[in-house]
Structure 1
Amino acid sequence: MELYAYRENGEFIGTIDFYTSLRWRRQYWTAGEVELHLPATKENLAAIKAGVILRRVGYTESARIMGIKTKGGEITANARMLEIYFSMAYVIGTKSFTGTPAEILCQLAEDARESVPELVVDKTALPSGAEITIQLDFKNTLKAMTAVAKAYGLGFRLLFSENQKFTFQVYEGTDRSADQADNNIVYFTDEFQNFIDPEYNFDESDYCNVAYARGSDGKVACIDRSNGGRKRVCFVDASSITPDDKTEAAYLNELKTQCGWGLFDHIKTKSFTGTAVNIENFAYMQDWDLGDIVTTGDSSIGITMNERVTEVEEVYEKGSVTIYPVTGKTKSETLNLEDI
């Protein structure tokens, strides 16, 4: 697997074709991660620097090197997929965004132009959806994008081109589960012998269903999603939210927005991980890809789920490649943006 190295202005640096290992972790609704190990030579140190963009021949995503270290004659470069640029931006002040979830993701990207001045937003094939409105106040742009994407099952990516452009796209994976008949069905199960070492995880240790937020004047707002059951409460410090020049309703909505973010940070998690074996019927990036919904499970514990492929980790070592997909919403109860 060859890597091409570029400067952020599109200038080609060179090809990286000799490394000891490469871990390429793609993620559906946030910036994935890359870890590259290669010999510590003058030539490699000259090419591998923070800010350098790595591309793989014939693949979609690119990654920006965020840091490097050398030890024992080896360079370790840590990079993030280009969506990481949005973590460098904030929604400044209080702003409202209205549109379909996909359109709001595009609006958030456009709002971050100061951090991504080369941005081009591709709206040619946006996923459909009902119109919503969200209000944000000094929120990290990538965190806001992730919240919207998780809530509505969308993925987004920032693509690099040599003509010094960063193209933003919103996309939606294909439903390939056993509950539909329009697309080929993909199974990740021990029974199909294409999903080995399955690991099921469910955790509600940090889960909350009631959030309180207190503004600068002491006013308190609450979102309660306990539905009459046992309440699990969290508190959000919203002292930066002031009632100045706002109606009572607008001020309360801002506080409820903070409650919504608080609940988003305290939700249940579940996932089904394992090692995919590229058999002929379910080949990676041919029959299934990041964002697709597949049927997965482990017959020994009697669990079967139709879940989205939210992460795919590719590990290249010693001339071989191993694929590790993660299925299931990493955060299974997502932020309901319509009630804040």
Structure 2
Amino acid sequence: MELRVFDETVEPLGLIDEMASLLWHVKYFDVGTFNLLAPITDNNKRLLTEGNIIVKHDGKREVTDTAGGIWRRAAQITYVHITKDENGLEQIEAQGYMLSQWLNKRCISPQIVTTATNQSIINTMVKNNCGSSASTKRRFPRFIMLAQENIAGSTVEYANEVYAKLGQEVKARAQAGKLGYDILINERSRQYGFYLYKGKDLTAKNSEGNTPCIFSRDFDNVNEQEYTASIENCGNFIYIQGAADDSGSQPVTTVDGEGASGLELTEVFCDATDIARKYQSGETEVTIPLNTYLQMLKTRAAAELENYGKIINFVSTINTNSNLKFKQDFDLGDRITCKETKWGIQIDARITEVTETYQKGAEEIEATFGDSLPTLVDQIRKVR
């Protein structure tokens, strides 16, 4: 495995010559991160500076476009910390984010009001705010939209909060549509590409004819497993309130997720006053018809209700010498089957996160199946 370093114009700067450890953490629904610890050498000190781009080459399968171009995940260094211990050992620590973090450099402007699939909405957001349809000042340089499959999905009424962060809205629509995304790099063409995709169904009983991918200690392809199930934050019926109209009346609608009643019914509330009743179309102020506005509220409500489902989290440390190879037999975003016979557990779940750890010449892969447990920040946002 080698780490290549580039500047933001994708000009190659060199290779990291020595490394103590690397944690490369990629996510399906969100922005990935990395953490690199290396000894201080003249070369490392030159390369590991904030703003530079790191690309990992480890022989694993990458994304290939129709012209044969190879696209890889990459990360930008955003934090550098240099230390010297009591024994005189000097080390440099570099941290940063996968390139999809760049989406949060933009606010959505103008506001998007549309009826479309989540795939179409995401593509419109990106094109209008940092892609080819954005003004010259707002475009990301060397940036294109990578070719995508036509991903099936229902049509929804959508309107974003005025000047919402692009990255946050892309994440929300990706979660709603069960889609993965990132910004990849092509070192040869010196380009960046927005990558939107849906993982394959590799579950034990998949109907797509794919070879099943089953993780179980019975098959010696996992070293450690950890299972968590939680209903502490469950909800299956949501009230949602929108912005006031000219008379001051605030519309309220509901989404019933499961048709539950009695003790099985758990109600939650969402304040969606950020979804404006009016928007600008050129020089004209347009008032959204009530029926359309109520459908927009239902779209938001359905997405919010996704956050209140039962949390099932299955974390496995994968045996890298087993029958299943990362990026060969399975990849981030694929749906697979997890099985633990002694615990009486078998679930079909999506691979939502993968952490690759390189240390002392050895590689370890940890995969998260299902949903990560909510962070404190997520919980605070839900309270609000």
> TM bucket by the smaller chain?
0.7 to 0.9
Change in Cα spacing, 1:133 to 1:202, as seen in structure 2 (3 Å) is same
Change in Cα spacing, 1:291 to 1:245, as seen in structure 2 (3 Å) is closer
Aligned to 2:156: 133
2:63 is aligned with 1:63: no
Q: Is the 8 A contact 1:6 1:14 kept in 2?
A: yes
Aligned to 2:179: 154
Equivalent residues in 2 for 1:170-249, closer than 5 Å? 170-180=196-206, 182-208=209-235, 209-216=237-244, 217=248, 219-225=250-256, 227-229=259-261, 230-236=265-271, 238=273, 241-242=276-277, 245-246=286-287, 247-249=289-291
Question: What are the Cα deviations for residues 12-31 of structure 1, in whole angstroms up to 9, with x where unaligned?
Answer: 11111311100011112222
Change in Cα spacing, 1:51 to 1:134, as seen in structure 2 (3 Å) is farther
**d(CA) in 2 for partners of 1:92 and 1:206?**
34
**d(CA) in 2 for partners of 1:215 and 1:18?**
56
Aligned to 1:37: 37
Secondary structure (helix, strand or coil) at the match of 1:327 reads strand
Change in Cα spacing, 1:17 to 1:112, as seen in structure 2 (3 Å) is farther
Equivalent residues in 2 for 1:252-331, closer than 5 Å? 252-256=294-298, 258-260=300-302, 262-330=304-372
Question: What are the Cα deviations for residues 195-230 of structure 1, in whole angstroms up to 9, with x where unaligned?
Answer: 222111223333333233352545142333252432
Question: What are the Cα deviations for residues 142-201 of structure 1, in whole angstroms up to 9, with x where unaligned?
Answer: 222223323333222211124442111222222222103622222101211212221112
**d(CA) in 2 for partners of 1:99 and 1:249?**
16
**d(CA) in 1 for partners of 2:182 and 2:29?**
8
Counterpart amino acid of residue 218 in structure 2:
E
- How far off its partner does 1:68 sit? 1.8
2:23 is aligned with 1:23: yes
TM-score with structure 2 setting the length:
0.77
Q: Which moved more, 1:164-173 or 1:242-251?
A: 242-251
Change in Cα spacing, 1:328 to 1:101, as seen in structure 2 (3 Å) is same
Change in Cα spacing, 1:239 to 1:272, as seen in structure 2 (3 Å) is closer
Q: Is the 8 A contact 1:86 1:115 kept in 2?
A: no
Secondary structure (helix, strand or coil) at the match of 2:323 reads helix
Q: Is the 8 A contact 1:14 1:47 kept in 2?
A: yes
**d(CA) in 2 for partners of 1:240 and 1:106?**
20
Q: Is the 8 A contact 1:30 1:142 kept in 2?
A: no
Q: Is the 8 A contact 1:50 1:68 kept in 2?
A: yes
TM-score with structure 1 setting the length:
0.86
Q: Work out the percentage of aligned pairs sharing the same amino acid.
A: 24
Change in Cα spacing, 1:204 to 1:220, as seen in structure 2 (3 Å) is farther
**d(CA) in 2 for partners of 1:65 and 1:147?**
25
**d(CA) in 2 for partners of 1:176 and 1:258?**
30
Unaligned runs of 5+ in 2: 63-71, 85-89, 131-137, 279-284, 375-384
Q: Is the 8 A contact 2:118 2:155 kept in 1?
A: yes
Unaligned runs of 5+ in 1: 333-340
Aligned residues: 331
Q: Is the 8 A contact 2:350 2:369 kept in 1?
A: yes
Q: Is the 8 A contact 2:234 2:266 kept in 1?
A: no
- How far off its partner does 1:269 sit? 2.5
Q: Is the 8 A contact 1:85 1:116 kept in 2?
A: no
Aligned to 2:192: 166
Structure of higher CA gyration radius: 2
Counterpart amino acid of residue 234 in structure 1:
F
Q: Is the 8 A contact 1:127 1:172 kept in 2?
A: no
